[in-house]
Amino acid sequence: MNVVRLVKKAKKGNKNALLKLILVEKDAYYRLAFTYMGNSHDAMDAVEDMIVKLYENIHQLKNEKAFYSWSKTILVNRCKTILRKSSDFQYMEQEQINEQDHHNPHIRTDHQLNITEMLSKVNEHQKEALQLKYFHDFDYQTIAEMTNVSIGTVKSRIFQGLKKLRDYYGGEHGE
């Protein structure tokens, strides 16, 4: 698949080209949104918003090769906007309260609880950086772009985050 060619097509208004680009990495987009939103319903809403935004603004992407980091940055920003808005408004449906994705085996394992608990020991920025690096495999440069800070800050967040985790949990395992 030629990313650059597809991006160029999408810039000319070809919706299928954009769709193709997204579908190749659909699991990655979904996981990324899921990390922020915490449930399938909201994650899909965020990805949906993202694809519309991508289509509207793809002409602004100068470096076609950077499509994936660009689009994922937009997705992360979209997730954060939704989260910010939902804390302003109460629109939860009665039926939907405490919604969880029960199709997701991931959420209910004990291990996951440990990880969630583990990550709750570090601050939000550190948690975000750790998740982007270790769960989504992004490099420092991309994480910096996504979270709108310098590479140095990203490195420091990951370093400090790991250090804090070690302080909490490292000792127990006595290695």
Partner 1 sequence: MVNNIEKRLAEEKQRFDQITAPENFEARMREALKPAKQKHKPRKLIWNLATAAVLLVFFAGYQYDAFAFYGKKLLGFDDLVTGTLNDLNEKGMGQLVGKKTALSNGTFLIIDGVITDENQLVLYYTLKNSDGIDGEFSPRRLTGFFTNSIAGGGTERVNDLQTEIKGVMSFDSVSPFSKKLTLHYSEQLPNNEIKEGEVTFPYHPDEALQTGIKQSIRKTAEVDKGKITFRSITATPTVTVVEGTINADNFDRVSSALDGIELLADGKPVQMLGGGHSSSLKGRTFDLRFDALPSNLESLEIAVKQFAGYKTLDEKINIATVGAEPIPLGDTKELIIKDVTATSEGVKVTIATDVDVMLEGVSISNTNGVKTPLKTTVNQTKMNKNGTFYKQRTLLFDTSVLPEFITIKGMHYMKTYNQTIPIPL
Binding residues vs partner 1 (CB under 8 A): 12-13, 15, 18-19, 22-23, 26-27, 29-31, 34, 40-41, 44, 47-49, 51-52, 55-60, 62, 73, 90-91, 93-106, 109, 111-112, 115, 118, 130, 134-135, 137, 145, 148, 162, 165-166, 169-171, 173, 175
The one-letter code for the residue type at 98 is: N
DSSP-assigned letter for residue 133: I
Nearest to 82 by CA among 52, 55, 47: 47
Structural contact between residues 30 and 47, judged by C-beta atoms closer than 8 angstroms: yes
| Identity of the residue numbered 130 | L
For residues 4 and 23, which CB has a smaller minimum distance to partner 1 in the complex? 23
Residue 25 CB, shortest distance to partner 1, in Å, is: 10
> Minimal distance in Å, beta carbon 73 to partner 1?
7
User: Coil, strand or helix: which one is 160?
Assistant: helix
Shorter beta-carbon distance to partner 1: residue 3 or 61: 61
CA pair distance 162, 127, nearest whole angstrom: 10
